[in-house]
């Protein structure tokens, strides 16, 4: 059995490629996505591209105007705020729901990831730090038994990853503080703390990142 073909549909391929490019920052916000151009580039027709763009629209990565076209969603401070706030809420809930499902192995892995993050603080590599940070959080909310909430969390992360502002690059000192907050969250989870506390702490962790960003941008903190 030669495992043969991926057999992905062209819509799927187009979607994955565009998603990849936007997340990687190769397509700057405001960039205009023209169906025919993308189709030619992908070596397919416009119909699959169109479908891919509608999916990206549903996820909020691109904005779409009828009879005009799609552009990569612009990131202003307000959009970033709303996305982070939403993610704080759903990720907090997901982490709380996942908490009882977490095995000792899960926690050990998360702890190992946080130690990697700590080691990463020296000779700071933003891309690697962001990657490890993603994996750390995913390890904690991943066992959440409610697939809808998980889906919302993933969408939130996708949107954030599409924003260059999301990385810790531009917020001095935030990375180090973040590692400490992870430590606190891990201790609470390991002691099997009550769900509401887990939710509050996970939410607060994200809100603090948001507020650190707002402070660095000279704006007032957001309440929640």
Partner DNA sequence: CCACACTACATCGTATACGATTTCATACAC
Partner DNA sequence: GTGTATGAAATCGTATACGATGTAGTGTGG
Residue 82: C-alpha distances to residues 65, 114, 147, 207, 223 (Å): 22, 27, 22, 11, 12
Return the range that interacts with a copy of itself (CB under 8 A); candidates 107-115, 118-126, 146-154, 181-189. Answer: 146-154
* The one among 6, 43, 147, 220 contacting a copy of itself by CB under 8 A: 147
**With binding defined as CB under 8 A, does residue 69 bind a copy of itself?**
no
Contacts of 34 (CB under 8 A, 6+ apart): 69
Per CB under 8 A, the list member of 195, 197, 204, 208 interacting with a copy of itself is: 195
CA dist., res. 40 & res. 34, Å (int): 10
Q: According to CB under 8 A, which residues from 107 to 136 bind a copy of itself? A: none
| Residue 32 interacts with a copy of itself (CB under 8 A): yes or no | no
Pick out residues in 142-181 that bind DNA (CB under 7 A): none
- Per CB under 8 A, the list member of 25, 60, 142, 143 interacting with a copy of itself is 60
Stretch of residues binding DNA (CB under 7 A), selected from 43-51, 79-87, 173-181, 216-224? 43-51
Minimum CB distance to DNA smaller for 46 or for 63: 46
Are β-strands 32-33 and 62-65 bridged in parallel, bridged antiparallel, or unpaired?
unpaired
Site for DNA, rule CB under 7 A: 5, 7, 9-12, 33-36, 39, 43-48, 50-51, 65-70
Site for a copy of itself, rule CB under 8 A: 9, 47, 50-51, 54-55, 58, 60, 66, 82-83, 85-86, 89-90, 93, 96-97, 146-149, 152, 195, 223-224
């Amino acid at each position: 059995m030669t495992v043969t073909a991926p057999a992905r549909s062209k819509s799927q391929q187009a979607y994955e490629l565009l998603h990849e490019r936007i997340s990687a920052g190769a397509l700057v916000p405001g960039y205009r996505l023209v169906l025919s151009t993308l189709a030619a580039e992908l070596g397919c027709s416009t119909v699959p591209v169109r479908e891919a763009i509608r999916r990206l629209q549903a996820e909020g990565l691109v904005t779409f105007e009828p009879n005009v076209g799609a552009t990569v969603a612009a990131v202003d401070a307000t959009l970033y705020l709303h996305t982070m706030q939403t993610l704080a809420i759903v990720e907090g809930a997901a982490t709380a729901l996942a908490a009882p499902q977490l095995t000792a192995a899960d926690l050990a892995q998360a702890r190992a990831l946080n130690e990697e993050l700590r080691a990463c603080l020296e000779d700071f590599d933003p891309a690697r730090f962001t990657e490890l940070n993603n994996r750390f959080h995913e390890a904690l909310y991943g066992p959440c038994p409610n697939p809808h909430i998980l889906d919302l969390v993933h969408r939130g992360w996708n949107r954030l990853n599409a924003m260059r502002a999301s990385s810790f690059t531009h917020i001095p000192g935030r990375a180090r503080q973040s590692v400490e907050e992870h430590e606190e969250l891990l201790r609470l989870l390991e002691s099997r703390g009550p769900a509401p506390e887990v939710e509050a702490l996970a939410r607060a962790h994200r809100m603090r990142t948001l507020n650190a960003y707002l402070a660095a941008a000279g704006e007032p903190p957001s309440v929640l």
